[in-house]
């Protein structure tokens, strides 16, 4: 049985376009308001939403997302809040994922977390610091509860690492466009397209989608990445608009407008590679 994520990515692929994937930490700027912001992201055009599980040691994240996660933790956000946010996200019709470092899941209990996430309507989890060869417990839990597990590849990944990671991934594989942390950039890293091509070669005919994240913050950048990837992942740009807004109504308006700009870029992109 397909997850909502798999179904949505199949729909966007059939439509000849990439999916727009937005990220926001649960509980940012507070648990109730984060649900309002995510609804605005979907209203603007996000196909998939990554709900971040706030963590005190976010090694992959740059200052904007670290500040957002710190705000969520200061607001008292708990894993239960994360799961409630996932449920609210799934209720919008978008595919809902969790993005989490491994330590919080391990502390919660891998099988218990997978069961509770599936019950909340989540499709799967992105685990940026978990290697596939060390993910036996998580692989068993996601298989038992029908969830996708999304691992990362990077420009430094060897061909052997690409084959191992894509074989272990389900839903999509996350291609980190550059060696660095999350955050806006003046231009898309030149390593991104080559990484997508190398990853597709590693996948072979399996058809696993490749979605690109890190450093995408404008409609033009989204369009550029959408020409060769199956999904465009944006996080820091959404968080920054919430940080800059004077109140939650203004934050939702800014986020909705930003999502619409990105969605227009994704939908208008010409295609240079088969999906």
Among 206, 207, 213, 210, residue whose Cα is nearest residue 229? 210
Measured CA to CA in angstroms, residue 34 lies from 64, 129, 180, 251 at distances of: 16, 24, 26, 10
The whole-number pLDDT of residue 272 equals 47
Give me the chain's average pLDDT, please.
92
- List the structure tokens of 184: 């806006």
Q: Under DSSP, is residue 40 helix (H, G, I), strand (E, B) or coil?
A: helix
pLDDT digits (tens, 9 = 90+) for 256-273: 999 999 999 999 886 544
Measured CA to CA in angstroms, residue 8 lies from 94, 181, 231, 271 at distances of: 8, 27, 11, 19
pLDDT digits (tens, 9 = 90+) for 138-194: 999 999 999 999 999 999 999 999 999 999 999 999 998 765 655 555 566 678 899
Find out whether 143 and 165 touch, Cβ atoms under 8 Å. Answer: no
Tally the residues of the chain.
275
H helices, E strands: number in the chain: 12, 9
Q: How far is CA 121 from the centre of its chain?
A: 16
Active-site amino acid positions: 50, 61
E strand intervals along 155-260? 173-176, 210-213, 231-234
The whole-number pLDDT of residue 181 equals 56
Residue 48 has pLDDT above 70, yes or no: yes
Task: Give the architecture (CATH level 2) of 14-268.
Answer: Alpha-Beta Barrel (3.20)
The whole-number pLDDT of residue 59 equals 75
73 class by beta-carbon count within 10 Å (0-12 exposed, 13-18 middle, 19+ buried)? middle
Determine if residue 16 is left, alpha or beta; phi over 0 gives left, psi from -120 to 50 gives alpha, anything else beta: left
Q: Under DSSP, is residue 217 helix (H, G, I), strand (E, B) or coil?
A: coil
Find out whether 86 and 35 touch, Cβ atoms under 8 Å. Answer: no
């Amino acid at each position: 049985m397909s997850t909502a994520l798999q179904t949505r990515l199949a729909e966007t692929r059939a439509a000849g376009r990439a999916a727009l994937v937005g990220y926001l930490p649960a509980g940012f700027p507070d648990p109730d308001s984060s649900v309002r912001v995510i609804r605005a992201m979907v209203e603007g055009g996000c196909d998939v939403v990554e709900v971040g599980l706030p963590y005190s040691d976010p090694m992959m994240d740059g200052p904007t997302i670290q500040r957002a996660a710190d705000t969520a933790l200061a607001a008292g956000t708990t894993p239960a809040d994360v799961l409630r946010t996932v449920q609210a996200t799934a209720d919008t019709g978008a595919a809902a994922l969790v993005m989490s470092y491994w330590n919080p899941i391990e502390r919660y209990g891998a099988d218990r977390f997978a069961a509770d996430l599936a019950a909340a309507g989540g499709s799967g989890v992105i685990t940026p610091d978990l290697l596939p060869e060390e993910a036996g417990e998580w692989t068993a839990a996601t298989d038992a509860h029908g969830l996708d597990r999304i691992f990362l590849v990077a420009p430094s990944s060897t061909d052997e690492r690409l084959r191992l990671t894509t074989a272990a991934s389900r839903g999509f594989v996350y291609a980190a466009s550059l060696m660095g942390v999350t955050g806006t950039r003046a231009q898309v890293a030149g390593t991104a397209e080559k990484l997508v091509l190398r990853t597709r070669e590693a996948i072979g005919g399996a058809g696993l989608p490749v979605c690109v994240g890190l450093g995408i913050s404008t409609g033009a950048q989204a369009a550029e990445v959408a020409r060769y990837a199956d999904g465009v992942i944006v996080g820091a740009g959404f968080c920054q608009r919430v940080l800059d807004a004077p109140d939650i109504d203004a934050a939702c308006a800014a986020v909705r407008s930003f999502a619409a700009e990105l969605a227009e870029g994704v939908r208008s992109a010409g295609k240079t590679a088969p999906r």
